[in-house]
């Protein structure tokens, strides 16, 4: 099993009497793009604030890079770059000058500024004032700033929020490249399923402060129901054959049968049995719950 870069255990957090997080367990593997998905108000930003030691959980533990955050704050957080919603940018300064302010604070070599400008593709606009930047450019400048200290882990809160379609694509490509080409582990929150689906290797779904699912993105698909619909010549006889193979028919009409299956091999097995028994099979159609349906089902609300 790969190393965990973030591990939270049973985090609880309250705003006065309101329980915003309820036993939140997260396990973020090294090298992953980990999508933290949930509708508005689910608890994503609160969790991120706890990971960055900006809020303190009433109960539970946060480990970063295998070590307890509360015991090693400075050392651990120096390996983390973060972008939380709107990055703080001095609008009257240029992009480069903004990075210089942060560079002096964290004490990294000057050469690092050009390196991060190149990574986020802002070299050509580096000497323009930030007040003339598009929202997408501001986000990329925020990301450049988060990258200055060459962190091993990037925590990005809704990084594509408010961007236009080309800004979204640019940010997405950048995140994937930071993971693949620069070896960063990326923890990224979003309320937009399709965004997470396009980037993430691993996912956690949070709703009303509770984790509803955590695991591989593929695992979310494979845990879900698949159905096989078969159009055929002799429904009654086919039902008998299918039952004799220990499958359960969930629906049938005068022309077709529908049944839950686990894998592709089931389709082949059923088809062969039907054909061997002289039943004409006209069509085999398998369907799967979409990720969107799974997400809505897990969070029980429409929120896009």
96 binds ligand ATP, rule: CB under 6 A? no
CB of 201 to ligand ATP, least distance (A): 21
Give the separation between CA 217 and CA 278, rounded to whole angstroms.
41
CB of 166 to ligand ATP, least distance (A): 23
Give the separation between CA 128 and CA 85, rounded to whole angstroms.
22
CB of 285 to ligand ATP, least distance (A): 38
Please, which residue, 204 or 257, has the CB nearer to ligand ATP? 204
Per-residue x/- track, 169-198, ligand ATP (CB under 6 A):
----------------------x-------
CB of 7 to ligand ATP, least distance (A): 19
Please, which residue, 20 or 141, has the CB nearer to ligand ATP? 20
Please, which residue, 163 or 238, has the CB nearer to ligand ATP? 163
304 binds ligand ATP, rule: CB under 6 A? no
CB of 212 to ligand ATP, least distance (A): 13
CB of 171 to ligand ATP, least distance (A): 17
Q: What is the 3-state secondary structure (H, E, C) of the chain?
A: CCCEEEEEEEEEEEECCEEEEEEEEEEEECCCEEEEECCCCCCHHHHHHHHCCCCCCCEEEEEECCEEHHHCHHHHHCCEEEEECCCCCCCCCEHHHHHHHHHHHHCCCCHHHHHHHHHCCCHHHCCCEHHHCCHHHHHHHHHHHHHCCCCCEEEEECCCCCCCHHHHHHHHHHHHHHHHCCCCEEEEEECCHHHHHHHCCEEEEEECCEEEEEEEHHHHHHCCCEEEEEEECCHHHHHHHHHHCCCCCCEECCCEEEEEECCHHHHHHHHHHHHHCCCCEEEEEEEECCHHHHHHHHHCCCCC
CB of 188 to ligand ATP, least distance (A): 13
Asked whether 257 and 238 are in contact (CB, 8 A), the reply is: yes
20 binds ligand ATP, rule: CB under 6 A? yes
Please, which residue, 157 or 170, has the CB nearer to ligand ATP? 157
Per-residue x/- track, 35-54, ligand ATP (CB under 6 A):
---x-xxxxxxx--------
From the list 14-22, 71-79, 104-112, 245-253, the region that binds ligand ATP by CB under 6 A is 14-22
- How many residues bind ligand ATP (CB under 6 A)? The answer is 12
Q: Which parts of this chain interact with ligand ATP (CB under 6 A)?
A: 15, 18, 20, 38, 40-46, 191
């Amino acid at each position: 099993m790969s190393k965990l870069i973030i591990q939270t255990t049973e985090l609880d957090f309250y705003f006065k009497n309101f329980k915003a997080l309820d036993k939140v367990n997260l396990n973020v593997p090294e090298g992953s793009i980990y999508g933290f998905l949930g509708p508005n108000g689910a608890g994503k930003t609160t969790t991120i604030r706890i990971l960055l030691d900006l809020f303190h959980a009433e109960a539970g533990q946060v480990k970063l890079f295998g070590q307890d955050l509360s015991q090693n704050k400075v050392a651990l957080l120096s390996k983390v770059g973060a972008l939380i919603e709107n990055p703080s940018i001095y609008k009257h300064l240029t992009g480069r000058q903004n990075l210089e302010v942060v560079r002096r604070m964290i004490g990294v070599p000057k050469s690092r500024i050009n390196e991060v400008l190149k990574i986020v593709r802002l070299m050509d606009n580096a000497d323009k004032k930030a007040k003339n930047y598009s929202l997408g450019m501001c986000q990329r400048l925020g990301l450049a700033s988060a990258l200055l200290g060459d962190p091993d882990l990037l925590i990005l809160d809704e990084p594509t929020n408010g961007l236009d379609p080309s800004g979204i694509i640019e940010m997405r490509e950048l995140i994937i490249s930071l993971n693949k080409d620069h070896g960063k582990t990326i923890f990224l929150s979003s309320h937009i399923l399709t965004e997470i689906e396009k980037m993430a290797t691993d996912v956690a779904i949070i709703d009303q402060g509770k984790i509803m699912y955590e695991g591989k993105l593929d695992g979310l698909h494979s845990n879900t129901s698949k159905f096989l619909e078969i159009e055929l010549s002799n429904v009654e006889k086919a039902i008998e054959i299918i039952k004799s193979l220990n499958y359960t028919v969930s629906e049938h009409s005068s022309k077709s049968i529908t049944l839950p299956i686990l894998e592709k091999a089931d389709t082949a097995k059923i088809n062969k049995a039907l054909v061997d028994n002289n039943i004409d099979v006209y069509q085999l159609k398998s369907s799967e719950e979409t990720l969107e349906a799974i997400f809505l089902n897990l969070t029980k609300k429409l929120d896009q």
